[in-house]
Structure 1
Amino acid sequence: MISKLNLENILFLDIETVPETENFSDLDNTKQDLWEAKSRYQRKKDFTPDEFYDRAGIWAEFGKIICISVGYFNIEGDIRTFRVTSFYGDEIKILKDFKNLLLFHFSQTKHLLCAHNGKEFDFPYIARRMIIHNIELPYKLNLFGKKPWEVPHLDTLELWKFGDYKTYTSLKLLTNVLGIPSPKDDIDGSEVYNVYYKDNNIDRIITYCEKDTIAVAQIFLRLRGDDLLNDDEIKHI
């Protein structure tokens, strides 16, 4: 049961991604053809490959990570804090810094990673981008040969499903029904492309990513029956 897990052993996280280049025309001809084939089902006949390209960030083969925000609990007696920090900038540096965090602070068997829809998106996306950049996978992301119960990942979407595999509940909806302050009070995922490439405002994206990370932790607390974090307990470092 999740109520028996030690909160200090869990690393909560969220990632933000964008297409690997600003414009479809920036891709070479081969990559353009591959994008046209990859996106054909999703865009159907409603969009051209060029018109649909701003959504390429959801695929690790055509996107890149621009921010990884992480949060973790520190509990000393009756004092509970949730510390949040972010890795951003060059993707290779983001991935290496995140890997070092896992290696030096969250490498033990007891340590777990937690994200919303993390098993379908965040965890595999990070792993794929590491492989693309020839970065050796840390143990927490290397699932080869692991049995299901050996995978060190928690997913608040999966926990909310309670075994129901035919539904998807967004982070925004789940925070709303659970009475948690919405992390989507400024931008949402569909706007990250423009904020990054058009506005060049990485700080706004970092704030958004950190809010999502905090929301994941809040959902986890609600699922455990614990008190939600208050503003004084959240420390940005």
Structure 2
Amino acid sequence: MLDKVNLEKILFLDIETVPQTYDFKDLDETTAGLFNQKTRFQQKDGKTVEEIYGERGGILAEFGKIVCISVGYINKPKSGVIVNKKIKLKSFYHDDEETLLKNFADLLNDYYSDPYHVLCAHNGKEFDFPYIARRMLIHGLKLPLPLDIAGKKPWEVNHIDTLELWKFGDYKHYTSLPLLCHIFKIPTPKDDISGADVARVYYEEKDLERIKVYCEKDVVALIQLFLKMKGDGLVEEGDIIYS
């Protein structure tokens, strides 16, 4: 099945999100009450609502925001040209989420809106794609065609999820991107932060550039994993063009 997918038509992506406020106590009364209600079952495990907000505030689209979307695509050599395929990366990162989303929407509308284009992310169907769409609607933005899936049949939705590919129909467990890269022996650069550090780096260090670098590395790992799953060779580090 993957053999039929045109690599040059795929936009690979990853997002980084943070809670809308760094501390639960900074939420307005209504929002705090609604978060408390939404997470009441997690609180039965002995965790406080403040702890749960620190852990989950950024991954719930109703209470979080996107601070970076990194995308990558593959440039394949033309027939007869002896050069390696290359990965090219671009990132949208901004303190103003609406501006970030508008710029990303422009990319999709201008270059990835025909029926042959595909979006790919790890756990994208459960997280990245719906999160982006929900935040766009919250800001009153019109959904680009690749994200406007209401009423479409499953085979009409041009989304690839490497987590779903790995499950082979199994719904019992989640497998992380780092774990899959490890077992497939995909070299990944060691980073000084993880996903759990993004909110701290954003709110305390105010270092969006550092978050952008981390996000782009995840996109590279995603692309290399997809190539492995497809049976293709990996892209060499020297053929990766960062933004």
Alpha-carbon distance between aligned partners in 1 of 2:208 and 2:214, rounded to the nearest angstrom: 10
Number of the residue aligned with 2:59: 58
CA gap 1:183/1:170 in 2 versus in 1, 3 angstroms: farther
Number of the residue aligned with 2:90: 85
CA contact (8 A) 1:172 1:184 kept: no
Runs of 4+ aligned residues of structure 1 deviating over 4 Å after TM superposition are none
Percent sequence identity over aligned pairs: 56
* TM score, norm. by length of structure 2: 0.94
Cα deviation, residue 42, structure 1: 2.5
CA contact (8 A) 1:172 1:183 kept: no
Alpha-carbon distance between aligned partners in 2 of 1:43 and 1:57, rounded to the nearest angstrom: 17
Cα deviation, residue 52, structure 1: 2.4
CA contact (8 A) 2:20 2:64 kept: yes
CA contact (8 A) 1:184 1:208 kept: no
Alpha-carbon distance between aligned partners in 2 of 1:184 and 1:29, rounded to the nearest angstrom: 41
Number of the residue aligned with 2:21: 21
Number of the residue aligned with 1:75: 76
Number of the residue aligned with 1:193: 199
Q: Structure 2: where are the runs of 5+ without partners?
A: none
- Report the secondary structure of 1:44's partner residue: helix
1:47 maps to 2:47: yes
Q: Structure 1: where are the runs of 5+ without partners?
A: none
Letter in 1 for 2:213: T
Alpha-carbon distance between aligned partners in 2 of 1:40 and 1:198, rounded to the nearest angstrom: 28
**In the TM superposition, what whole-angstrom CA distance separates every residue of 1:157-186 from its partner, at most 9, and x where no partner exists?**
001111111121001101100111236632
CA contact (8 A) 2:67 2:93 kept: yes
Number of the residue aligned with 2:119: 113
Letter in 2 for 1:4: K
Number of the residue aligned with 2:160: 154
Letter in 2 for 1:114: C
Match runs of 1:76-225 below 5 Å: 76-77=77-78, 78-79=82-83, 80-89=85-94, 90-182=96-188, 185-225=191-231
CA contact (8 A) 1:183 1:208 kept: no
Q: Which range moved further: 43-52 or 84-93?
A: 43-52
CA contact (8 A) 1:183 1:215 kept: no
Cα deviation, residue 191, structure 1: 1.2
Letter in 2 for 1:88: Y
Give the alignment's Cα RMSD to 1 decimal. 1.2
CA contact (8 A) 2:42 2:52 kept: no
Letter in 2 for 1:73: I
- Report the secondary structure of 1:40's partner residue: coil
Cα deviation, residue 103, structure 1: 0.5
Q: Which range moved further: 208-217 or 184-193?
A: 184-193
Alpha-carbon distance between aligned partners in 2 of 1:151 and 1:75, rounded to the nearest angstrom: 24
